[in-house]
Structures are given as C-alpha cells and as structure tokens.
Amino acid sequence: MVLALEHVAKTHWVGPYEKRTLVDVSLRLAPGDFVGVWGARRSGKSTLLRIAAGLDRPDSGRVAFDGRDLAALSDARRGELRLREIGLMLGSGPHSPEFTVCDYVALPLLVERTRASARGIAIAMLRSVGIVDCRDARWHQLSDSERALANAAHALVRRPRMLLADDPAPDLDPLQQDEVVTLLRRAADDDGVAVLMTTAAMSALAPARTAFVLADGELTPLREAGEERGGEAQVIDFPTGRQQA
C-alpha cells in the first residue's frame, strides 16, 4: 500500500467560527491506482492532498506512506519523500518568470544530476506529454492547457511512486481537460504510479478507477474500482444544500 489515511480529521478556524474541513476520512492508494475526488470550492480538497503529502498534519487519525507514519518522521525526512517519491501538482508553475518550461520541468532532478542531464530528461518528458515545442517558452507564453501539461511533466519527471494532483485541469474545455486527466491515468496504467486527484469538475472523474465526493468534510464513494462504465463516471444525486460544480 502506497498511501493510507485512517480516520483523518482536520479543523480550521474561519474568523471566529470553527469549520470541520475533514471528518473521519479514510482512504487507501495502491500502486497503479487512480483515485479521483470531486468537491465544491472550499470543500477541503487541497487540505486532503496537503495532509497526504505530509505538508500539513491532521488533528487526529493516521497518515502512512509505504507503511511509514508521516507524523513520526522529521520535517527533513518528509521533505526527502516529497523530493524523491511523491510528485505534487499543487502549485501554479515556476516561482521565477525567467525559468523556461524546460528549466521548470528539470528543476526536481538537479539535486542528483547535472543541469545538462536534467534538461535532457526534461525534454524527453515534455515530448511524452506532447509539448516539447514549448521547451524554451516562458510561463506567461503558454496557454492554460500547456501550463497544465507542463505541471504534469514537472511532477512526473522523477518517476514518483505517488502523484497528488490538486485540480490539475482548471478552466479548460472538455477536450483539454480530458487530455490532462488521461495523461495522469496513463501514468497509473503504464508506470504504476499511485494517483490521487481532486477536481471541481465532475467530468474530470471519468478516467478515474475509483471516485469519491468530498462534502461537509466527509468522503463518500461515487464509484468503486471495477465499476467503470464505458469510461464515464456515474453521476449521483446530491442531498439538498450541496451544489454541483
């Protein structure tokens, strides 16, 4: 088992009010799994992934990566896991506007490789995601779909064991969205990467093997593994008061 969340709870304060962001959430992720989680805005999707990555700690419950309790590890050890074994699609691109796309994708490799070697691997990764022609472009020169694919290349270039993707295809049309999410499914199928993806678009769950809804802090099954129906996700009826994205 790559990832196990057991009875995880997390509370945030919003002004003077206490909000239960996650309530008794349990989830398991094995090699080659592709799990999708739909949630509305401010439903706790990002919190779920940050806890899975060891960036935040739950108030209660246990988070284990490869059987190791993340809470028991030092900050340095958790950082090393994220560097070597966990790919993250949580951000919005490079911090410096001077970075080329190739430099951005190569960045995670520079700890162990020369710049020339890292760039060579980055170019191969950009070719595999279909945007090698953008390798010398700056971030502001990319389209939204090219940025999403570049973020995927950045997260996958180290061949991680687990990929955590926070709404990886926002504001894209259905075809562009499908291109990005299908790329993540391919990483699971071909490379055995354990993928956990959150999204605010129900249609993005179609390639996921297992799907959940995150609402009111609770994770509810939407589709179990083996219930894929022609590549389309089942749609559920939401209780009154919950709004679909």
Residue with tokens 């779909």: 145
Lowest-pLDDT range, 48-57, 178-187, 224-233?
224-233
Cβ count within 10 A of residue 125:
23
pLDDT tier, 244 (very low <50, low <70, confident <90, very high otherwise) = very low
Average pLDDT over residues 68-89: 94
Domain ranges for the chain, please list them. Answer: 91-159
Average pLDDT over residues 160-179: 94
Q: Are 102 and 131 in contact (CB under 8 A)?
A: no
- What does pTM read for this prediction? 0.89
For residue 183, give the nearest of 109, 102, 126 by alpha carbon.
Answer: 126
Lowest-pLDDT range, 23-37, 137-151, 225-239?
225-239
* CA distance readout (Å), 123 to 106, 129, 242: 8, 10, 43
Residue 91 pLDDT exceeds 90: no
Reported as a single tens digit per residue, the pLDDT across 106-154 is 999 999 999 999 999 999 999 999 999 999 999 999 999 999 999 999 9
* CA distance readout (Å), 243 to 39, 110, 184: 9, 44, 26
pLDDT tier, 189 (very low <50, low <70, confident <90, very high otherwise) = very high
Residue 185 pLDDT exceeds 50: yes
Burial annotation 21-42 (CB, 10 A radius, 16+ → b, else e)? bbeebebebeebbbbbbbbbee
Question: Which one has a higher pLDDT value, 189 or 95?
Answer: 189
Q: Tell how strand 68-69 and strand 60-65 pair up.
A: antiparallel
Residue 66 pLDDT exceeds 70: yes
Reported as a single tens digit per residue, the pLDDT across 190-204 is 999 999 999 999 999
Q: What is the per-residue pLDDT for 225?
A: 62
